[in-house]
Structure 1
Amino acid sequence: MFSPKRMLLLTLLVCFPATLPAADAEGKKQFLAGSATSNITPPLGEPVVGGWAPEPATNIHDELHARCLVLNDGSTKVAFVICDILYIARDVCDEARQLIADETDIPAENILIAGTHTHSATPATSENYRPFLVRRIADGVRRALVNQVPARIGWGSVDEPREVFNRRWYTTDPEQLKNPFGGMDKVRMNPSRGSATLVRPAGPIDPEVSFISVQTVDGEPLSLLANYSLHYVGGVRRGEVSADYFGVFSRRIAKLLGAAHPESRFVGMMSNGTSGDINNINFREKSPRQEPYEQMTKVGELLAQRVYDAQKDLEYQDWVPLGVATRELTLKHRKPDEAMQKYFAEIMEQPEDKVVYHRHERTYAGRVQKLLEGPDSSDILLQVIRIGDLSIPAIPFETFAEIGLELKEKSPFADTFTIELANGAYGYLPTPEQHELGGYETWMGTNRVQLDASERITEVLFDLMDELRDTQKVAAE
């Protein structure tokens, strides 16, 4: 009896021998690529998450997808899976990665699975939705493998600063600086728009839209994977499911490339960069009221147009080396001290409708208690994928923009961009300096790991980049 994995491999070899050569007739290395989508739209009734209180899904505005891209340099295969979902926990990612590894010849460590962080989707945790999501992710990668054809690849970027704003602000309004722990922060997340009390943002933005374009050797578009450091845009109706601007971009780039027809093999993809402190709100101005989905459509279509214009000048390569490096890192969990435990115990003794100091104090009493009762640490997976002279770090956090900028600046590769909420999800990742300022993203329960976690993560990622760079140099000699 053959195992399912072996049966699949035999089927691929028997049915597609002419389309999957390791080299052409002259012995030249052959680059292959394939893409596919899997519909991962949850059933109605599943909770829509992203706000302070989940509510059941009552309508599907636009379908959610796992968008899959497989690259193959003849000796190494890598797979990208970008899912229209708030985030995917580590154990769910591991289950999907292992299923793919069992049923194909792609090693689990060579698979990157990330959520886009749309706030109008459901979590991957319910007994009803989780097995469906895992199966659909694996099926998408399997189909992308079957769809492999000889291909060429190029990558580039374009700046679009008009749609990204740092959401953490210094303000002179003490009421806006209160936190749920009975103290005062130095900065405020999402302050009052157009307020005279605003001083300056507490961090930078990253305006770069990075992208990878894959074509057949004849120039037919196969896939385009973009990356932008912008949180979700939002503006949906209550109870509706949507892929946010990530889905708008994916559909629009297909139309611009002339690849939106039913026979097209093209898959557009937008991944989330380092956007833990970045959103689409210009806090210096009071924004006019917009119709539902209006702003996300504007942002997604603008980014698609900018990428479409930029990709016209790409230089494609018929073959590039691929590589993957991964490492586990143990991070300690933050725990409340006795004073904090006492403070929240007193809060919980008050009537539920009484606000003692901050309107979210009861919410954080619960979050802090979970940390106290939970494990002392988490083992996170860090990953870097190399495509020629491009490196793509993957971080399982909502990562501050300045961390992504540092990775770009100090990378040993010519080009670098980061995909966040990849291969797990552990909350926000501020820098130690941002922790000193306080604010929502640094609050215990929003941020769950040790205060120097960003430094430890970037140290490992630079080591992995160096490892891949050294491997490439040895192979070239």
Structure 2
Amino acid sequence: MKRLNSPCQFGLLLALALGALPYLLTGELAAADPPKHVLRAGAYAMDITPTKFPVSSSGSMTHRTADKAHDPLHARCLVLDNGDTKIALVTCDSCMIPREIYDAAKQLASKSTGIPTDHILCSATHTHTAVSAAPTFQSLVQEDYLDFLTQRIADSIVKAHSQLEPAKVGWAIGNNPKQVFNRRWFLRSGTPIVDPFGNGTDTVRMNPPPNSKMLLQPSGPVDPEIPILAVQAVGGRPIALWANYSLHYVGGVPSKSLSADYFGEFARQFAKLIDADKSKPAFVAAMTNGTSGNINNTNFFEGRIRHPPFEQIRRVAEDVAASAHVAYQRIEYQDWVPLKMRETEIELGVRRPDEAELARATMLIKEAGPGPWTDRSLIYANETMDMAKYPATVQMKLQAIRIGELGIVSSPCETFVETGLAIKKLSPLKPTFTIELANGYNGYLPTVEHHALGGYETWRAKSSYLEVDAEPKIRETLLKLLDEVAK
């Protein structure tokens, strides 16, 4: 037996023995670190295509119906759980969805999954060829579709939650300036700009004739960014991709057809690019709408070639998916990230008509007789009469999310691109992207400066009725929420 050479050696051995005694008595060894949280994710695309036709189809100033679906409509859902917090993101192939439907769907999903309702973000893509779920202009709401839609949105969350598995996430920013164009233009001096109220005060025109001699310059910028959030299983199998692009929609769909527009085609194209179109469980790609209230796919500088139905949708989706794929290849994945989500409500004023405006509208409709109408002055006269019945104020939900260093904000409006660019610039999280038409529908959100310019997006109607200074109030609230989740 080796002899201890000093009292120090003996003391050291005694201390080690006493320190290990509790673990020797219990037969356990001390853990070096507390158990690490595991990030889990699940995704599911729930079919929300109507089962009966014909149906009312939204996205037009006049009522129209569809007798078939060219491609399926979906409610695409991603659920993330980091052990501390669960959140759900849902995007639906719909033009716009009222808050009441989202609220009811969230309640149903929360009961089944335990995800708090204020940790669920639901949005519409703004395809103009979906089933009418919200009243706008002369489109009739497809009432017998609403319960079905509500349940399917809830089911998408429940199904995604049931597929939670250990996962890793990452993000990057793609870029594609070729498919986005500002649609509000200044025209050459002396070019008349007509509005449906007879005011003659507009200084910009929405969607003027492309490559026309009357064109001067667009009234604002575009946002070419394509932020993406990618989710993989720990072994590398793709689970989901959430993308964001500020493009209103593409169109080129026959009037009697439903379609998810380029949003649905993007999902199919991207899945093929990463060989995930046959993954089990099914890979889910989703394109959310950014701030595209004044942005569309028409190149007003040069014009656009007219293609057969659905061809422009395919071309745009293919191009944007390719740009997203380039960014996808730069992603560095993390097996755990902080998740935070904040929700608040704000109250905003409503632009209601005064007595003179209401009297004019009432006279026009009386002289014209019952609708439907094709004359814009009559369509907006009817809107004026509807707006007289609106409350003086409305409540809206705003949300902010942190996923690692990625930020997401949402609003229930068709938001102008200037707002999105300002939020991205000032956000404490990089990157940050904005999801519009979320958790309800409150019409267009022009900036104060654009209200002064006039134009379609500012014309008072069910599609544009918030107070003139609503935009700075919404923007400032979203930035405050981002500060909260970034801490």
Per the TM superposition, whether the score is higher than 0.5 is yes
Is 1:53 the counterpart of 2:62? The answer is yes
Q: Does 1:137 align with 2:153?
A: yes
Whether the aligned pair in 2 keeps the contact of 1:176 and 1:188 (CA below 8 Å) is no
Which of 30, 39, 42 is the equivalent residue of 1:31? Answer: 39
Identify the residue that residue 83 of structure 2 maps to in structure 1. Answer: 74
CA shift for structure 1 position 175: 6.0
User: What amino acid sits opposite 2:266 in the alignment?
Assistant: F
Q: Relative to structure 2, which stretch is displaced further, 103-112 or 172-181?
A: 172-181
1:71–1:79: 8 Å Cα contact kept in structure 2?
yes
In 2, Cα distance between the equivalents of 1:345 and 1:374?
16
- Which secondary structure does the structure 1 equivalent of 2:143 belong to? coil
Deviates more, 1:205-214 or 1:164-173: 164-173
1:179 corresponds to which residue?
A: 195
Corresponding position of 2:453? 437
Say if 2:404 is the partner of 1:396. Answer: no
Q: Deviations over 1:83-107 (max 9, x none)?
A: 0011111111101111111221100
Contact 1:276 1:400 in 2 (8 A): yes
Q: Specify which of 382, 401, 404 is matched with residue 398 of structure 2.
A: 382
The answer to whether residue 230 in structure 2 is matched with residue 213 in structure 1 is: yes
State the distance in 2 between where 1:351 and 1:90 align: 34
Gap change, CA 1:135 and 1:176, over 3 Å in 2: farther
Instruction: Return the alpha-carbon distance in structure 2 between the equivalents of residues 325 and 227 of structure 1.
Output: 20
Equivalent in the alignment of 1:467: 484
- Residues 370-420 of structure 1 show CA distances to partners (whole Å, capped at 9, x for unaligned) of 111121111100011110111100110000000000000011112100000
Quick one: which amino acid aligns to residue 46 of structure 2?
S
The gaps in structure 2 that reach 5 residues or longer are 1-32, 134-140
Unaligned runs of 5+ in 1: 1-24, 471-477
Q: For 2:114, what is the secondary structure of its paired residue? A: coil
The 2-side partners of 1:421 and 1:76 are apart by 24
Alignment partner, residue 121 of structure 1:
130
Mapping of residues 280-295 of structure 1, within 5 Å: 280-295=297-312
| Bigger radius of gyration | 2
Which residue pairs with 1:65 in the alignment?
74
**Aligned match of 2:164:** 148
Evaluate the alpha carbon distance shift between residue 247 and residue 173 of structure 1 in structure 2; reply closer, same or farther with a 3 A threshold.
farther
The alignment covers a number of residue pairs equal to 444
Matched residue type, 2:451: H
Q: Does 1:95 align with 2:115?
A: no
C-alpha contact (below 8 Å) 1:118/1:242 kept by paired residues:
yes
Partner of 2:246: 229
TM-aligned CA distance change 1:193 to 1:383, over 3 Å = same
CA distance in 2, matches of 1:280, 1:382: 27
Among 387, 390, 407, the alignment partner of 1:371 is 387
Q: Distance in 2 between matches of 1:456 and 1:433?
A: 14
Change (3 A) 1:414 1:120: same
8 Å contact from structure 1 (residues 176, 191) kept in 2: no
Aligned pairs for 1:421-460 (under 5 A) are 421-445=437-461, 446-460=463-477
Instruction: Find the aligned partners of 2:191 and 2:310 in 1 and give their Cα distance.
Output: 32
Query: Could you tell me how far 1:54 is from its partner in structure 2?
Result: 2.3
SS of residue matched to 1:317: coil
Alignment CA distance shift 1:271-1:176 (3 Å): farther
Partner in structure 2 of residue 5 of structure 1: none
1:253 is aligned to: 270
Are the counterparts in 2 of residues 225 and 270 from structure 1 also a CA contact under 8 Å?
A: yes
2:360 to 329, 338, 343: 343
Q: Which whole-Å CA distance do the structure 1 matches of 2:215 and 2:114 have between them?
A: 54
Shift, 1:341, TM fit: 2.0
* Cα deviation 1:62-102 (Å, max 9, x = unaligned): 01000110011101000011100111111111011111112
Q: CA deviation at 1:351?
A: 3.5
Tell me how far apart the structure 2 counterparts of residues 64 and 268 of structure 1 sit (CA, whole Å). 13
Residues 112-140 of structure 1: per-residue CA shift (max 9 Å, x gap): 00000000101235331111111111111
Structure 1 equivalent of residue 332 of structure 2:
315
Q: Distance in 2 between matches of 1:352 and 1:401?
A: 39
For 1:325 and 1:275, locate their aligned partners in 2 and report how far apart those are by CA, in whole Å.
24
Q: Which amino acid aligns with 1:326?
A: E
Specify which of 179, 202, 206 is matched with residue 189 of structure 1. 206
Match of 1:137, SS state, is helix
Cross-structure match for 2:21: none
State the Cα distance separating 1:262 from its structure 2 match: 5.8
Give the Å deviation of 1:352. 5.4
Gap change, CA 1:140 and 1:353, over 3 Å in 2: closer
Report the aligned-residue RMSD: 1.8
Q: Secondary structure at the match of 2:144?
A: coil
119-128 or 386-395: bigger deviation: 119-128
TM-score using structure 1 length: 0.90
What letter corresponds to residue 93 of structure 1 in structure 2? Answer: Y
User: Which amino acid in the other structure matches residue 42 of structure 2?
Assistant: G
Corresponding position of 1:406: 422
Q: Percent identity?
A: 44
CA distance, structure 1, for counterparts of residue 442 and residue 291 of structure 2:
14
Structure 2 length-normalised TM: 0.88
Which amino acid in structure 2 is aligned with residue 28 of structure 1?
K
